[in-house]
Amino acid sequence: MLRRYIEAGQIVSTQGLKGEVRVQPWCDSPEFLGLFEVLYLDEKGERPIKIQKVRPHGNIAVVKMEGVDDIDTATQYRGRVLYIDREDASLPENTFFVTDLIGCDVLDADSGVCYGKLSDVSVTGANDVWHVTSADGREYLLPAIPSVVDETDPVNGRIAVRPLKGIFDDEN
């Protein structure tokens, strides 16, 4: 089952004197955080906080939260993780959050052989690279491109792939 509340970033410092905070986003971009009217201070969605404004500032987001109007109040939020409600996100079809993919079994689409579990995702610019860790602890790098990834099913914890020659069979 996919988690409803997903880590979206961390408040790393304050910004100015009027209660704004600087958030290091753990999502695609600082602009993504601006799509949400409410963020959460806990992974259960029990501590909502209304967002008045989000603006990108380089690779961070400057966020103004309702009721946080001075630097002293803003300082109390430093280090807090912010969560989004998955139900508030609008993702294109067959697009998933990285957190949904981590831990999925990576299987050969034809033979069913399990290569390991998806353990990390690197964003390279051209395409994402999936880190697959085998049962014996070896790490393999798999390009997340349409010709390799056949099916992604995080609800059932599996990803079917047709890997490029040499990735898992240790050929040169």
Domains and CATH numbers, the chain: 5-88 (2.40.30.60), 98-161 (2.30.30.240)
Tell me the pLDDT band of 49, cut-offs 50, 70 and 90.
very high
Surface-to-core class of residue 123, CB atoms within 10 Å of its CB (0-12 exposed, 13-18 middle, 19+ buried): exposed
Mean per-residue pLDDT of the chain: 93
Between CA 68 and CA 71 the distance in angstroms is 8
pTM over 0.85: no
Average pLDDT over residues 15-37: 92
Tell me the pLDDT band of 172, cut-offs 50, 70 and 90.
very low
Provide the pLDDT for residue 170. Answer: 61
